[in-house]
Structure 1
Amino acid sequence: MSPDRLSLDAFRRWVLGDLVDNRNRGLFAEWLVGMALGVIDETMSRQEWDAYDLQYRNKKIEVKAAGRSQSWNPNHSARTSFGIAQKKMSWSAATDTFTHHDQPQRFADVYVFCMHEPVPADNAKVADPAYWQLWVVATKVLDQELGSQKSLGINRLNQLATPVPWRGIREAVDAGLGEAHDHE
């Protein structure tokens, strides 16, 4: 390929080619949840560094991802946890403003925890929602049950919520928000 004719698709493959990589798997999990909630379309792009990952019915959704298999040691089952630390500063992509908070806090209304299960993992398994275990927890539950705790392991997560299938995310998020809606 000539340097004069760069391909955006080639760039995307180069950047995101390994979906097992922690960063890429996390981005995929955000997209997976966004698709389940119906809040992503092909005209959108992801907002890096925003205070939360997705917006659904004017509520903020934080997506946390982990995987048992890692790119650097694919046949070893890794111990996993999710970062849930409260923060004293947030940035809004919509307004391009930073806000400092007197007390650390979690900025989303609901968290969706996404665990990719297979060992070893590969791109096809990451791309298949059937290989993900998903939990939805309202932020108020995290705050009440865990306070300022900075990470959350699977055992404790299972005490807070029951895993849901990918097609059940929307209903679980609605329940976490205390809302009931008819879905088409």
Structure 2
Amino acid sequence: MIMLTGNEHFTYDGMPIGVLLNDFWSWSSSDLLNNTLRGALAEFIIGSALGIDFSTCRRDWESFDLLSPSGYRIEVKSSAYLQSWEQSKLSRIQFSIRPSRSWTSDSGYSDTIVRQSDIYVFCLFACKEKSSSNPLDLTQWEFYILPTKVLDDACGDQVSITLSSLIKLNPIKSNYGELANKIEEVYKNGS
């Protein structure tokens, strides 16, 4: 897939209509508290910490979210107290840890249901005040890192985990500045 810049024009009958791809991106992707978009943002944040090459498009259908520069597979999960919509109370923090079938374009879905990564990175957008929330401010995020084996051993086929249950598994907690080193450390010590 060719990487686009955002400066590409929408056209009609071969003529630009005065609307750029960047206009679409701004319209569709500015609500960073949106659950779906927050997940992709969390993957981007982890990738940026690890120095992953962003010169190719994100691949939605991989069996894991990111491949580290060292070659291990990373699953990124996100959650937040705040949502796009009006809330009467803060959201309960919960992350999906559902085992899945891997998929490739060559062979389709595998028969085996497992967690497909070597490492899980749980990303919590921890801000609790909408007026000061800014998902681009990486100090408002907390990161919890666990080897997938720990989840497999402790959670079996469980499909989700709350923050309190995750903390009981003793993940390595990190801020953005230490994230690359902490992820590498967890991979080397725990996989």
Class of the TM-score when normalised by the shorter of the 2 chains: 0.7 to 0.9
The one-letter code sitting in structure 2 at the alignment partner of 1:126 is: P
Shift of residue 173 of structure 1? 1.5
Corresponding residue number in structure 2 for 1:178: 188
Tell me, yes or no, if structure 1 residue 130 matches structure 2 residue 139.
yes
Pairing 1:72-87 to 2, within 5 Å after superposition: 72-74=85-87, 76-87=89-100
The residue aligned with 2:79 is 66
Give structure 2 stretches of 5+ with no counterpart: 1-9
Map Cα deviations across residues 72-109 of structure 1 (whole Å, 9 max, x no partner): 1256311020000112x2123xx55424134x200011
Measured after TM superposition, the shift of residue 175 of structure 1 is 1.8
Deviations 1:24-65 (A, max 9, x none): 111111100000011033x22111121111100111111000
Q: Which has the larger radius of gyration?
A: 2
SS at match of 1:49: coil
Distance 1:75 1:133, change over 3 A: farther
Quickly say closer, same or farther: Cα 1:61–1:123, change in 2 above 3 A. Answer: farther
The alignment status of 1:8 with 2:21, answered yes or no, reads yes
| Candidates 45, 54, 61, aligned match of 1:49 | 61
**d(CA) in 1 for partners of 2:107, 2:179:** 30
Which residue of structure 2 aligns with residue 182 of structure 1?
A: none
* Alignment RMSD (CA, Å): 2.2
1:156 aligns with 2:165: yes
C-alpha distance in structure 2 between counterparts of 1:129 and 1:97, whole Å? 39
Query: Any idea what SS the aligned residue of 2:174 has?
Result: coil
Distance (Å, rounded) in 2 between the aligned partners of 1:38 and 1:175: 16
Distance 1:168 1:90, change over 3 A: same
Question: What TM-score results when the alignment is normalised by the length of structure 1?
Answer: 0.86
- For these two proteins, the number of residue pairs brought into alignment is 174
Does the C-alpha gap of structure 1 residues 75 and 36 become closer, same or farther in structure 2, counting only changes over 3 Å?
farther
Partner of 1:166: 176
Task: Report the secondary structure of 1:5's partner residue.
Answer: strand
Distance 1:140 1:14, change over 3 A: same
Tell me the amino acid that sits aligned with residue 163 of structure 1: K
Pair 1:29-2:42 in alignment: yes
Q: Which structure is richer in relative contact order (CA contacts within 8 A, separation 6 or more)?
A: 1
**Helix, strand or coil at the partner of 2:173:** coil
SS of 2:19's equivalent?
A: coil
| 1:131-167 deviations in Å (ceiling 9; x for gaps) | 0010011101111111111111111111221321112
Equivalent residue of 1:69, what SS? coil
1:14 Cα offset (Å): 1.1
Query: In 1, Cα distance between the equivalents of 2:145 and 2:172?
Result: 8
SS in structure 2 opposite 1:156?
helix
Give the counterpart letter for 1:175 in structure 2: E
Is 1:31–1:40's contact at 8 Å kept on the other side of the alignment?
Answer: no
* Contact persistence 2:64–2:74 (CA under 8 A): yes
The SS at the match of 1:152 is strand
Matched, 1:98 2:127: no
Query: Cα distance 1:28–1:53, how it changes in 2: closer, same or farther (>3 A)?
Result: same
The residue number in structure 1 matching 2:4 is none
